[in-house]
Structure 1
């Protein structure tokens, strides 16, 4: 078989890596839910064998080319292996986070109409307790840790052989993943081999300076592996043959710390909400990050104090933080680097990481348009950000009209508000749906984080006919009112803060605060000053 210089085929990814002689160790924080007997140490050939095993399961369960296989289970890296197995059959994997509310999960499964649902007993029980029998949305259901009558278990499919691999057309649907759903029901995003493997994973499979994985790297991640990022990350990293790929499935420090201790990372990609939780442990166990040369943050905005704290924990001479901005529909659009020096120069003057850097050269283009007329705006003015990229998804399952409505020719409406300066640098203000009449909620949140270390999270919610409402999660359950008033004295007027516990903030699988759900809990209007038209 002819191998290319880039990862192309999702279904045979691990077979292709094995043929290339990969020696990368795959280290897991806990055993895979789908193969607990495999333990916590894998290599590429054993991962390839697991993909073939799962493909055999799916074929025996009746999955055929073109079918959809929905995957919704406890978070772990086996989302990637199960997706590879479905793609090997010519089927289309659809990864759904177990963090989705039962009614949301039910809605997405109804849109998908999968031939097979791969899930676990706990998720089924949670959905049924909420009055949703999600197994009824699929032709058959495979429960990876035990099944009731009418459902399949791995034991029922044991020993089934995987058919020869099939490879879809470059522009045929390859994988489906959902958006974060911070403001409502997530969209089901369709990617192809061309968009996610060639454009996204292919870009990461180059040995770029600083960013590219090195032969002696331990490349560590901790995020929602239901996210499409997991496919591009796995393929791009493994194609460069690092010493080890380390997966931390559970963000809780009690589970994460032992894995970090056993396998000290040299590059680290973690969703920002998890980093915020880990940050409070740096005083006692910051040495776990001493070897990190590169930190990567995606999925959501990250506060400057978090970036500063982790860069300070590294014992490298010049560690780097790469912040990427993009969407499930587009992949990364811009990136920016932070160093200890660059943060020190900005501290106190402009405490924000909302300056997102510049478009990826040769891969993305950006422009800002007027929110009402959709006509391009002059440099420096604030409006809706549109992008142009060859990695754009090809549609939304069950919502094709919604997808088309966000396109003007080949330009895609990101739904974000921001500006682009004369150097091409992007500054993010807000999501359009969350926008305020004065200032930006994201920047206010950054300032509060910088000025009040006791605040674990500040979420500013705009309302149509009054000052925005700050929702504040604090370290000890009580907010110093005097310190709060002093910290926000020069900011746009806000209502009195609502104090909550960290655990009370509803979150998506990638750790973003579900602002729409939070609004409902607080009895606030569904939208702020924004229209919500571009979500």
Structure 2
């Protein structure tokens, strides 16, 4: 039987593997399961001594070098009966204040080198609360209790707080040592920021999976390559932006990547051309797309990259389910395009203090993904686009993902992002921003390249060459900032117009 709460997950692991490394920040710090359990007990007592009570929200503001202290603080808050609210140091101070105020956080635990935002709540480093009473704090925590509030990336508006119970987070935890996930690997390497859904998934893996969770203080392609080679890492998780940067740096040609047996991509779909390049760069690895959302987790699809089915994102895993519906919520048959819904195999999450938005996103155990897609006859999901990104150009609806995938097929394109820009007759037309691997290719050259791959209404009217794409902390392109680049470019002077 699976543990019902996160503290129970940690207690079980500390009992089974007290001296085994659980979390490693390369070159900074590491921690065993026994240390994780003892330190979080200690900090939980410190929180209780500061007046923290059952159900209080505790902000956790940490940077990527502080994964060890963050893991301690996360479990300590829950052992004290409080709700953990993970935040990233990559957020602007105003964003942090908004999140803390929205959830009415009573206090804030910070990384050692971070300055907390101004406010009337107390703040402390993990070390400030250690050194007190030993042993478990004795607070009763139930599976149905609220365990975590995680804020969305806010790519389409203000971030929303997504609440998850202990039952949701602990779902599927494996108690048998010989059945733990990723058994082929001694280390599970990632570079996801704290405060993201991908990062929280890695934290749950640290508690539940066989390999130790290994991470970088700061991601660079060189650091990733050197760490894979020196540690002989078997499992690696990235977001597409990291994968693209790694491939474009060519480091797989100078470092031994043969130890990697699983390379997983999260946060957004890998363009098929990028997945194919990864398969060549990691000769022994299975390349897999993981599709979920902060709202839908732990429901997800997992798809091993298949050149014969390059656009597929997989079928439901771990007891979840998928359906495609029309605008009224009625299911559509295979092959028809509509809204993507995913059903959680356990207690669903919810929007904290936003019932109106929650009513639109959560219905009877189903979660609206905010994506447009279709299911094929074998049940595989094919993603068309984000619902908010589909471009209505004249009589046509155009998938920006399809255009981006075609651009990635050009050997000179390092990165690409497509969006709709206003047009006086058609309403909107396609515009593309590209980062090139080297100079010498024009926007006009790229439009000619696309003519053999896309229909006329799918061709970008404008192609803008940029040094970098604006991205948020999760590695997703922030299209409202990208739109500003096109607005700033003089009409008729943009390359490729």
Which deviates more from structure 2 when the two are superposed, residues 49-58 or residues 436-445? 49-58
Cα displacement (A) at 1:432: 0.7
| 1:469 matched to 2:445 | no
Q: 1:269: which partner in 2?
A: 237
Q: Please list, as runs of the form range in 1=range in 2, the aligned pairs for 1:76-87 lying within 5 A after superposition.
A: 76-78=66-68, 79-87=70-78
Tell me the distance in 2 between the aligned counterparts of 1:27 and 1:169: 26
Partner SS state of residue 220, structure 1: strand
CA distance change for structure 1 residues 392 and 276 in 2, over 3 Å: closer, same or farther? farther
Cα displacement (A) at 1:299: 1.2
Partner SS state of residue 81, structure 1: helix
Q: 2:446 aligns with which of 474, 479, 484?
A: 484
Q: 2:404: which partner in 1?
A: 445
1:369-423 CA-to-partner distances (Å, cap 9, x unmatched) read 222x333223211111122223464321221221112234443221110111221
| 1:330 matched to 2:304 | no
Q: 1:241: which partner in 2?
A: 210
Assess if the C-alpha contact under 8 Å between 1:205 and 1:235 holds in 2.
no
| 1:512 matched to 2:469 | no
Q: 2:418: which partner in 1?
A: 460
Q: 2:260: which partner in 1?
A: 292
| 1:172 matched to 2:130 | no
CA distance change for structure 1 residues 15 and 364 in 2, over 3 Å: closer, same or farther? closer
Q: 1:226: which partner in 2?
A: 195
Tell me the distance in 2 between the aligned counterparts of 1:49 and 1:455: 50
Assess if the C-alpha contact under 8 Å between 1:80 and 1:230 holds in 2.
no
Assess if the C-alpha contact under 8 Å between 1:223 and 1:249 holds in 2.
no
Q: 2:371: which partner in 1?
A: 416
Q: 1:436: which partner in 2?
A: 391
Partner SS state of residue 83, structure 1: helix
Tell me the distance in 2 between the aligned counterparts of 1:241 and 1:485: 48
Tell me the distance in 2 between the aligned counterparts of 1:378 and 1:92: 41
Tell me the distance in 1 between the aligned counterparts of 2:378 and 2:440: 44
Higher-RCO chain (CA-CA 8 Å, sequence separation at least 6): 1
Cα displacement (A) at 1:484: 0.9
CA distance change for structure 1 residues 185 and 370 in 2, over 3 Å: closer, same or farther? same
Q: 1:349: which partner in 2?
A: none
Partner SS state of residue 175, structure 1: strand
Q: 2:83: which partner in 1?
A: 92
Cα displacement (A) at 1:205: 8.6
Tell me the distance in 1 between the aligned counterparts of 2:353 and 2:208: 34
Tell me the distance in 1 between the aligned counterparts of 2:177 and 2:337: 35
Q: 1:427: which partner in 2?
A: 382
Q: 2:321: which partner in 1?
A: 365
Taking structure 2 as the reference length, what is the TM-score of the superposition?
Answer: 0.86
Tell me the distance in 2 between the aligned counterparts of 1:203 and 1:181: 36
Which deviates more from structure 2 when the two are superposed, residues 461-470 or residues 307-316? 307-316
Q: 1:9 aligns with which of 1, 5, 11?
A: 5
Assess if the C-alpha contact under 8 Å between 2:4 and 2:143 holds in 1.
no
Partner SS state of residue 63, structure 1: coil
Tell me the distance in 1 between the aligned counterparts of 2:374 and 2:175: 26
Tell me the distance in 1 between the aligned counterparts of 2:63 and 2:42: 20
Assess if the C-alpha contact under 8 Å between 1:24 and 1:238 holds in 2.
no
| 1:214 matched to 2:189 | no
Q: Please list, as runs of the form range in 1=range in 2, the aligned pairs for 1:140-179 lying within 5 A after superposition.
A: 140-143=122-125, 154-155=127-128, 157-161=129-133, 164-179=137-152
Cα displacement (A) at 1:264: 2.0
Tell me the distance in 1 between the aligned counterparts of 2:178 and 2:146: 25
Q: 1:387 aligns with which of 336, 342, 351?
A: 342
Tell me the distance in 2 between the aligned counterparts of 1:321 and 1:258: 20
Partner SS state of residue 488, structure 1: helix
Q: 2:493: which partner in 1?
A: none
Tell me the distance in 1 between the aligned counterparts of 2:290 and 2:415: 21
CA distance change for structure 1 residues 166 and 478 in 2, over 3 Å: closer, same or farther? farther
Gaps of 5+ in 2: 489-497
Assess if the C-alpha contact under 8 Å between 1:172 and 1:193 holds in 2.
yes
Tell me the distance in 2 between the aligned counterparts of 1:241 and 1:409: 34
| 1:72 matched to 2:61 | yes
Tell me the distance in 2 between the aligned counterparts of 1:283 and 1:486: 31
Tell me how many residue pairs correspond in the alignment: 472
CA distance change for structure 1 residues 288 and 251 in 2, over 3 Å: closer, same or farther? farther
Q: 1:35: which partner in 2?
A: none
Cα displacement (A) at 1:293: 0.8
Tell me the distance in 1 between the aligned counterparts of 2:175 and 2:67: 21
Assess if the C-alpha contact under 8 Å between 1:67 and 1:91 holds in 2.
yes
